[in-house]
Chain A
């Protein structure tokens, strides 16, 4: 019998065409996702006189620069946005790849659309010119973000030169405490291992708590793997995954379904397989989290207090805390629940799927927003589903703005920005300086916690809303 293998080893081996003498693999790419921000790579490709090798393996939708006020092309007046959205559509038409454009019900944030359409499947190697490609690990794919030069390389050759990452398993066993969502789980992981703790690794999330998550929650956990430094994070596919994918437009059809599921069942880490690093967290210790600083590792329980630089372990850390508190406008030792917010954003590839919107609406429906709050569904499909369920009405009645889908205020490339000095409770993935706009102050949290912040005007423990 062969040596026990991790799920990461198995997928890697199945896609490795060759390995050079320096140990770098030439890896085959199963499916390549593209968005309006991929424009540079298409330009480079054209400048070299090359065309995509396998257009049938490319799936694209505009998300980064799309307006959320309207998806009507006539309303897309910003010349830069118009140029990139138009270029993506033109490239799709010219090269013949799948494209869900503005106005198409299947349009959305590429990391929401991939799983939703069944494009993302277990055991595939999926790449995209976006760091949150790790999201697709939630259905058991080995998925990772790449830069523009690598996007061009994948377009031209359907392959990528990449050294096999080390492997890390993060195991969380136990029952989920009240108020804890997938976002709280992944923020806890990042706080535990650090924003660079997963660097050079691919992560497998395991354990009874992880296994109990539904697919949308798994996508949220894997999405933020990159915030822990890991280019990819994944969860072995199981019956929950198969049930989720069955019948989706690009999932295996009835004629292939049984064979596909049979191959997917083999995608699990063998008993006795050795990871380069093992991390364990206790589910009973998990609690609702928020971030206070400018790195996702700056996450604390909502019951916590803003760190005091006087208690820093070294000079570099003290200096970093001081700079962060200055930028964020916070006082050492203040209770996080005393931090007032100016606005709320619910959306992004991390937390904009239908369950996220249901969770936020369940809180929003209990009161009225006292600060501006905006909801941007992860895809036009999610938007339609939410409207069919009446969630838009709940949000609107509570004073929230109900928008179109896109990356929106997570990256601020479409004009949805947080003004300088303003503080935003946000369901997004990055609290970097200036991430939501120059001078913006971001606090990351779950959809329910963001909705709670909208009702109270401050960071709030969702468990206290009763």
Chain B
């Protein structure tokens, strides 16, 4: 897993609420092998539609942070929604709420997802629209965000999640260190629910 420690980058304001997984990664691209890359899949159909999408606005070129509204990444379990963001160069999404599965998937690829109050997200987006290309800094160790105007905003994150991101820990390697505990649990579980054993 990729580490996340500290990032300073231009930030992209995405004003719409309910940016769902199907906008982040339309279904017809989901069978593409991971190694082929997903950068062009991100917001694919919105980018092709009349008016385009802000992600292609040259004033926000090189953005590494998304500041969104509520329910970002709601919908499907497709991890391709995260791959699309990461492959397009984004390492952090700030929103007032996230789809739960998207939130879980994001950390597996070093994409830091931060929840802030909706009013704070709105103020950040307004500042980014006023000064396109403005940089923000996200410091996971200190759990702070530096807004375009220099204001420092603190954020909360679950301790286990923070540790995994800071150290780039691999879940499977970690879990395999508990192999004995899993084995013991499993034996007891099979004894308790014998009807789950297939003949």
Q: Assess the A26–B175 pair: CB atoms within 8 A.
A: yes
Of all chain A residues, which has the CB nearest B185?
A17
| Bound form: Cα–Cα A39–B197 in Å | 26
| Residue B99 lies at the interface, judged by CB distance under 8 Å to chain A | yes
Query: Which of B70, B163, B186, B197 meets A158, CB within 8 Å?
Result: B186
Chain B 30-88 interface residues, beta-carbon cutoff 8 Å to A: 30-31, 33-34, 45-46, 69-71, 74-79, 82
Q: Is B27 an interface residue (CB 8 A)?
A: yes
Bound complex: CA of A31 vs CA of B196, how far in Å? 9
The docked-state distance in angstroms from the alpha carbon of A40 to that of B78 is 10
Q: Mark A14-42, 1 if CB is under 8 A from B, else 0.
A: 00011011111010101100000101100
CB <8 Å contact, B178 and A17: yes
What residues of chain A lie closer than 8 Å to B196, measured between beta carbons?
Answer: 30-31, 57, 124
Query: Taking the nearest CB of chain A, how far is it from the CB of B28, in angstroms?
Result: 7
Kindly report which residue of chain A lies nearest to residue B197, judged by CB atoms.
Answer: A56
Known: A37-B30, A161-B160. A131 touches B77 (CB 8 A): yes
Count the A-B residue pairs with Cβ separation under 8 angstroms: how many?
188
Instruction: Return the contact of A147 from the options B31, B34, B46, B79 (Cβ within 8 A).
Output: B79
**Closest beta carbon of chain A to B86's beta carbon, Å:** 12
Are A163 and B158 in contact, with the CB atoms below 8 A?
yes
Question: How far, in angstroms, from A150 to B182 measured CA to CA in the complex?
Answer: 17
Give A429-458 interface residues, CB cut-off 8 Å to B.
430, 432-435, 438
Binary flags per residue of B125-148, CB closer than 8 Å to A gives 1, else 0: 000000000000000000000000
- Chain A residue numbers with a CB within 8 Å of B71 are 194-196, 199, 229, 295
B108 beta carbon closer than 8 Å to chain A: yes
Q: Are A23 and B79 in contact (CB under 8 A)?
A: no
Tell whether, in the assembled complex, residue B158 and residue A24 are in contact, meaning their CB atoms are under 8 Å apart.
yes
* Contact indicator A147/B98 (Cβ below 8 Å): no
**Contact B31–A18 (Cβ < 8 Å):** no
Would you give the shortest CB distance from A29 to chain B, in whole angstroms? 10
- Whether the Cβ atoms of A17 and B172 lie closer than 8 Å is no
Chain A residues lying within 8 Å of B99, measured Cβ to Cβ, are 196, 199, 229
Q: Is residue B91 within 8 Å, beta carbon to beta carbon, of the partner chain? A: no
Q: Is the CB of A18 within 8 A of B181?
A: yes
A233 to chain B, nearest CB (A): 12
In the complex, chain B residues whose CB is within 8 Å of the CB of A430: 20, 22, 75-76
Q: Which residues of A contact B104 (CB under 8 A)?
A: 146-147, 150, 162
A163 to B162, CA, bound (A): 13
Among the stretches A316-324, A329-337, A397-405, the one at the interface with B is A316-324
Inter-chain contacts of A199 with B (CB < 8 A)? 71, 97-100
Q: Does B5 contact A (CB under 8 A)?
A: no
Residue of A nearest to B31 (CB): A80
Complex formed: what's the CA distance from A43 to B193 in Å?
31
Indicate if B150 sits at the interface (CB-CB under 8 A). Answer: no
Please tell me the number of chain A residues within 8 Å of chain B, measured between CB atoms: 80
Given contacts A21-B159, A31-B196, A196-B71, contact A158 B182 (CB under 8 A): yes
Segment with Cβ contacts to B, from A102-110, A209-217, A252-260 = A252-260
Residues of A with C-beta under 8 A to B160: 20-24, 161, 163
- Tell me whether A56 and B198 are in contact in the complex, defined as CB-CB below 8 angstroms, given that A39-B31, A84-B31, A161-B175 are known contacts: yes
A24 to B157, CA, bound (A): 12
Assembly CA distance A320 to B189 (angstroms): 49
* Contact yes or no, A319 B15, CB < 8 A: yes
Q: Is A70 an interface residue (CB 8 A)?
A: no
Interface positions, chain A 250-272, Cβ under 8 Å from B, are 251-253, 256, 259-260, 263
Q: Are B159 and A23 in contact (CB under 8 A)?
A: yes
Q: How far, in whole Å, are A165 and B178 apart by their CA atoms in the complex?
A: 23
Whether the Cβ atoms of A229 and B101 lie closer than 8 Å is no
With a CB–CB cut-off of 8 A, which chain A residues contact B176? Answer: 156-157
Minimum distance in angstroms from B149 CB to a CB of chain A: 21
Interface residues of B in 169-191 (CB under 8 A from A): 171-172, 174-176, 178, 181-182, 185-186, 189
A230 within 8 A of B: yes
Complex CA gap A80/B33 in Å reads 11
Instruction: Give the chain A neighbours of B109 by CB distance below 8 A.
Output: 149
The complex places the Cα of A230 from the Cα of B174 at a distance, in Å, of 27
Closest A-B pairs by Cβ, 4 of them: A22-B160, A22-B159, A252-B195, A147-B105
A–B pairs, 19, beta carbons within 8 Å: A17-B182, A21-B159, A22-B158, A23-B158, A26-B175, A26-B178, A30-B193, A40-B34, A131-B76, A145-B76, A147-B79, A149-B105, A156-B175, A161-B160, A196-B74, A196-B99, A226-B75, A251-B195, A432-B23
Seen from chain A, the residues whose Cβ lies within 8 Å of a Cβ on chain B are: 17-18, 20-24, 26, 28, 30-31, 37, 39-40, 43-44, 48, 50, 54, 56-57, 65, 80, 83-84, 98, 124, 129-131, 133, 144-150, 152-153, 156-159, 161-163, 165, 194-196, 199-200, 226, 229-231, 251-253, 256, 259-260, 263, 294-295, 297, 316, 319-320, 323, 411-413, 430, 432-435, 438
Known: A24-B160, A295-B71. 18 other contacts (CB 8 A): A22-B159, A22-B163, A23-B160, A26-B175, A37-B31, A40-B79, A129-B77, A145-B101, A146-B104, A147-B104, A148-B79, A158-B182, A159-B175, A229-B99, A252-B195, A316-B69, A432-B20, A432-B75
